[in-house]
Amino acid sequence: MTAQIITVTSGKGGVGKTTAVANLATALAADGRKVVCIDGDIGLRNLDVVMGLENRIVYDIVDVIEGRCKLRQAMIRDKHYPELYLIPAAQTRDKNAVSASDMKRICNEIKPDADFILIDSPAGIERGFRNAIAPADRVLVITNPEVSAVRDADRVVGILEAEEKGNPSLILNRLNPALVRNNDMLSAEDVLDLLGIHLIGIVPEDEAVIIGSNRGAPVVTDARSRAGQAFRNIAKRLQGEEVPFMDLYSQGGFWGALQKWTRRK
């Protein structure tokens, strides 16, 4: 076994990095993969609460780096999936406690025993971001269909190009199909045309994401959620499967049912 290391990053904060890491990791684990997530957002630990694991934390990544515990001891096992682990960020320590070579060393140690290592990057393009991308085999850039988020994503893609980190893939998160239909939101086509990178998934705006994060249960565990389906599809694509993109524009409700019915042969 040798794990593929995937970093999720965005430039702008609040676009869905942590949500994406929690959901992709959970979906991969549900597919039987062995997954280790690393929270790279030192000082702003969050992946633990999104995954519902905050009460289990004893050691964090800085404890590993500074030799206060073994790597194994800082790996928190998920409540539902025995082969899903989280290495939490340190909450109180200064950001300079972690370096790019620390991240590489930790990943190298995990690599033989996992299928995927998922790294949650902090916002920005400074040290924490550099640490998060340093060990990556593959980078997923996540953005929202908004001017500032797309602009920041483009900056990040430019830096990844300059660092020769391979071609990043795009997750477009919080797309609102009704707004796109009214021409009041950038469409997936618009964003792809602007950024000029490979698309790995489109996740719709979905209140189930917020409900899931309230409960500490990533939305992929909700079989009916559209966002959950979108993240499950991305997880399949990360495993090399070809999965068609969801039709986000088909309308629900009576008219949607009618349209589907009339479309049927």
Ligand X SMILES: Nc1ncnc2c1ncn2[C@@H]1O[C@H](COP(=O)(O)OP(=O)(O)O)[C@@H](O)[C@H]1O
Q: Which residues bind ligand X (CB under 6 A)?
A: 10, 13-19, 173-174, 203, 205-206, 209-210, 213, 227
* List 157, 200, 209, 220, residue binding another protein (CB under 8 A): 157
* Smaller CB separation from another protein, 147 or 243: 147
Helix axes 147-162, 188-195, angle to 10 degrees: 40
Query: Which amino acid would we find at residue 257?
Result: A
Instruction: Write down the least CB distance from residue 118 to ligand X, Å.
Output: 13
Q: Which residue intervals of the chain are DSSP H helices?
A: 17-30, 47-50, 61-65, 71-74, 100-110, 127-133, 147-162, 177-181, 188-195, 207-215, 226-238, 253-263
* Smaller CB separation from another protein, 75 or 175: 175
Token pair 């539902």 is found at 80
* Smaller CB separation from Mg ion, 121 or 169: 121
Instruction: Write down the least CB distance from residue 222 to Mg ion, Å.
Output: 20
* List 67, 196, 244, 253, residue binding another protein (CB under 8 A): 196
x/- binding map, residues 36-65, to Mg ion, per CB under 5 A? Answer: ----------x-------------------
Q: Does 18 interact with Mg ion (rule: CB under 5 A)?
A: yes
Length of the chain equals: 265
Task: Please report the DSSP string for 87-124 in residue order.
Answer: EPPPSSS-GGG--HHHHHHHHHHHGGG-SEEEEEPPSS
d(CA 22, CA 49): 10
Q: Does 147 interact with another protein (rule: CB under 8 A)?
A: yes
Q: CB 72: neighbour CB atoms within 10 A?
A: 12
Name which of Mg ion, another protein, ligand X, none residue 262 binds, using a CB cut-off of 5 to 8 Å depending on partner kind. none
d(CA 27, CA 33): 9
Q: Does 162 interact with another protein (rule: CB under 8 A)?
A: no
Cβ contacts of residue 243 below 8 Å, gap of 6+?
233, 236, 237
Q: Does 194 interact with another protein (rule: CB under 8 A)?
A: yes
Residue nearest to Mg ion (CB): 18
Binding site for another protein (CB under 8 A): 146-147, 150-151, 154-155, 157-158, 161, 180, 182-187, 190, 194-197
